[in-house]
Chains A and B, each alone.
Chain A
C-alpha cells in the first residue's frame, strides 16, 4: 500500500472542506455578511454629524473586532458539517494522524476567513477613508497571521464543543480570553500601518514578528493537544 505523507493527508482534508465550501459558499456568505454588519454597526455608533472618518487606531480596532466576531461564525461551522450523518466518526476512524486532521481544518478555516477579510479591507477603506493601499501586502500578511493565530485555538475549541448543547454561546466566550494577545498585537500593528502620520514602521514590524511568534506557540500547542482533546468522540 502506498504511504501517504502527513502533509498530503492534511492537504486532502483541507481540500475536502474547501471543496464543500466552494459548492455551498455558506460560510463565506454568512461570515462576510456578519463582518460587513459589524463594520456598519461601528460606523453608525462612532460617526456622527459632519465627521466622515475615525482615527487609524479605531479603524484597526473595528477591523479586528469584525474579524473576531465573524470568525466565530466560520469556526462554529468548521466541525458542524462533520456532525451530519456522523461524518466525524468516519473522519476520526480513518487512518490519518489526528494532527493532520487539525492541520487540514486549520488551513481550510483560515483560508475561508482570509478570503472574507481580503474583501472586508476595501470596505473599511471606503467607509473610513483608511489608507490601506500604501502597505497593502503587509496588511495582507497581518490578516493572514492574525487569522492563523485565531483559528489555531478556535479549531480545537470548535472540535471539543461538537456535542455541547450550548455550542454557539460557549465558543466565543471561551475563545476570546485566550486570543486577546493575537487581537492586541494584530490591531496595534494595523494601527501603525494605517497611520499616514506614523514617523516610522518599526513598531508595526515588531508587532508583526510578535504575532508570528504567537502563531508558532498556538499552532504547536494545537497540534499537540488536538489528539487527546478529540479522543473521546
Chain B
C-alpha cells in the first residue's frame, strides 16, 4: 500500500461518518433556512445571512489555524504543521471569496451599495488579502518562501484584533456586535445548524486537501529513496 497512514485515516469510520453527516446536513439546512421566518425589513434577501456568516466565520478560523500550523512549523519544525497551515490558508481564500461575493450582493439589496467601509467588511477584506499574500509567498517566495509565509501567518494572526479595533475607530462607527444573540428565535436554529454544517464541510475539505499534501510529500520521499538505491546499485 502506497499511503498506509493516510488511506487508513481517510477510510476510518470516523472520517466516513463525518462526510455522511456533512452530506445529510446539506440536505437539511436548505429546509431549515426555507422555513425560517422572514426578516421584517429585508425579507427574503436576509436568507443570504445563513450562507454569508458561516463563510466569514470559516475565513477567521482558517487564519488562526494557519497561524497555529505555522507556529508549529517555525518553532518545532513540524512538517505536518506546515501542511496544515497551507491547506487552511487555501480554504480561507476559498471561503473568503464566498464572503466577498455574498457580502456585496447582500449589501446592494439591503443598503443600496455594493460596498461600505464598515468594520466587518473591511476587516474581512484585509484578512482575505493576508491569506492571498500567504499563498503568493508560498508559491513564488523561492527557497525561503515557506518560512516567510509562516512568519506572515503569525503577523496576520497578531493583526486580526488590531485590524478590527483600528478599522472600527477609523470609521468612527459603533456597529452592533450583538447581531447573533439578538436573532429572532426562529432564525437561531437554522443559523447554528448552518454554522455547524459549514464548519464540517471545512473540516472535510481540509482533511482531503491534507491528504493530497501528505501524498505529495511521501512521493518526494520515495523518489529520493529510489534515486539513492539506484546510486548504490550502479
Contacts and interface: CB of A to CB of B under 8 A. Distances in A.
Interface of A: 153, 156-157, 159-167, 169-170, 173-174, 177-178, 180-181, 184-185, 188, 206, 210, 214, 217-218, 221, 225, 228-233
A233 B136 CA distance: 20
Nearest to B74: A228
Given A177-B130, A184-B166, A217-B162, A157 B154 contact: no
Given A174-B136, A174-B137, A185-B166, A160 B159 contact: no
B207 interface: no
A152 B56 CA distance: 29
A206 B162 CA distance: 14
Q: Give the dominant DSSP class at B's interface.
A: helix
B136 to A, nearest CB: 6
Contacts of B140: 164-166, 169-170
Contacts of A174: 133, 136-137, 148, 152
Contacts of A228: 74-75, 147, 150
Q: Which of A163, A178, A185 has the most CB of B within 10 A?
A: A178
Nearest to A177: B129
Interface of B: 74-75, 126, 129-130, 132-133, 136-137, 140-145, 147-148, 150-152, 154-156, 158-159, 162-163, 165-167, 169-170
A110 B159 CA distance: 21
A165 B142 contact: yes
Contacts of A156: 148, 151
Contact of A160 (B129, B148, B163): B148
Contact of B144 (A161, A173, A210): A161
A162 B147 CA distance: 12
Contacts of A185: 166
Contact of B158 (A157, A188, A217, A233): A217
Contacts of B132: 177
Nearest to B136: A173
B144 A232 contact: yes
6 contacts: A160-B147, A169-B140, A170-B140, A218-B158, A221-B155, A228-B74
Contacts of A163: 142-144
